[in-house]
Amino acid sequence: MTHAVRAARRAGVHAIHHLTVLAGICAFPLVLLTRKAGVRLPMGAAVSRIRETYEAVVDATGESTNGGE
């Protein structure tokens, strides 16, 4: 895999990861309301899978995406 392809994949996974976090924050009030009604939304599996993919990409590149910490 070329460097450009790895960088594009990493950027895409990074964007999906952050969009998932944003979607979770925005959906939080809905989740609370549905839990009060007795309905549980299956968000945990999707979030876990995206987190695992994100971590695998970061581990494969050996680079940090958190601003150089």
Q: What is the pLDDT along the chain (69 residues), one digit of tens a residue?
A: 688 888 888 888 888 888 888 988 888 888 888 889 988 877 777 778 878 888 888 887 766 555 443
Backbone CA torsion sign across 7, 8, 13, 14: positive
Query: What's residue 59's pLDDT?
Result: 83
The answer to whether the pTM exceeds 0.75 is: no
> Where do the structural domains in the chain lie, given as residue ranges?
3-61
Contact indicator for 55, 14 with CB cutoff of 8 Å: no
Separation CA 17–CA 2 (nearest Å): 22
